[in-house]
Amino acid sequence: MTTIPASPTVDAIMAAERAKSFTTRSIKRESKLHALKLAMSMVDLTTLEGKDSPEKIRSICAKAVTPWAGHDCPSVAAVCFYPSMVKLAKELLAGTGVNVASVATGFPSGQYPLEVRLRDTERAIEDGADEIDMVINRGAFLSGREGVVFDEIEAVSRLCKDSGAHLKVILETGELETLDNVRRASDIAIAAMLASGLLDEPGAGFIKTSTGKVSPAATMPVTLVMLEAIRDAHARDGVLVGMKPAGGIKTAKQAWHYLVMVNETLGGVAGDGNPWLSPGLFRFGASSLANDLLRQMQKLKTGTYAAGYDFSEA
């Protein structure tokens, strides 16, 4: 196993204070529409329910391509479904530029045998998945078996690298108990992706907060700690690792706060500009966010808010 860099201790109080400070920033009116469109372009529209049907997948794919028909609004970055829905989604989205992501590797528990998780991933990629969202084995991590976690991430990373798929490693931070554990899990995930060669391509590997099945999901202190791990990996190894907070981000105002955090934490890290302010390196796993972004866009353009029924739920 490749040596995993030592992880710094996280001052939880200072992390919370720093994260809170991003919520005090204001955005000028002329910049708000740009920020809304940028956030929309970073959304992964997602459904991960037992009652998912082909009809629901068709509806979500249509919204992914054209979130606001008749208006200047970008498509979302990706849709994310269970592997059984990947083939249909790939057919529906062919030529649109919207990626198809799939949860695999025994989602959401990550407790299946590795060979089962690898086959799950292989099938999703064979059916057309551009991106794989894998979950780590939190039981192994919390019991101190870091080598097991590293090896499993590296195995999935190699599979994705060989097939050309991108990978998002879900830490399920709501189960990791402390910010020190969040930082350590982030460092392990990045080290495993680096060892596989996946990170030779900028943005081919992400770290992601949550499955959406555990509370709390994404929080600003957790995301800040993960962004700092990404910053340190770039300083140490020159790699560009993506970030995806998922779950609990429901309003445009919250999205702005996250974008401010990305800008102030990673701005200038990779030279001029901030490559993380793009869907290639930052995503929101928050389907309900899309409609609030649309409501805010309409408010800026017309002066009035849309009714709840003006935008589809899917």
The helix (run of H) or strand (run of E) holding residue 206 is strand 205-208
Q: Which residues pair with residue 45 across a beta bridge?
A: 79
- For residue 289 the two structure tokens come to 């966010």
- For residue 193 the two structure tokens come to 């992706």
Pairing mode, if any, of strands 131-135 and 166-170? Answer: parallel
Give yes or no: 133 in active site: yes
The amino acid at 168: K
With tokens 């695999």, the residue in question is 104
What is the spatial distance between Cα 66 and Cα 1, in angstroms, rounded to a whole number?
Answer: 45
- Going from the C-alpha of 127 to that of each of 123, 124, 166, 201, 206, the distances in angstroms are 6, 5, 15, 23, 21
Give yes or no: 28 in active site: no
What is the spatial distance between Cα 77 and Cα 46, in angstroms, rounded to a whole number?
Answer: 11
Q: Which residues pair with residue 166 across a beta bridge?
A: 131
* Contacts by 229-236, CB closer than 8 A, 24 or more apart: 229/7, 229/183, 229/186, 229/187, 229/190, 230/186, 230/190, 230/266, 230/276, 231/265, 231/266, 231/269, 233/187, 233/190, 233/194, 234/269, 234/270, 235/269, 236/5
The residue annotated as part of the active site, out of 168, 208, 232, 292, is 208
Give yes or no: 51 in active site: no
The residue annotated as part of the active site, out of 133, 187, 232, 292, is 133
The residue annotated as part of the active site, out of 120, 168, 244, 292, is 244
| Catalytic residue numbers, as ranges | 133, 208, 244
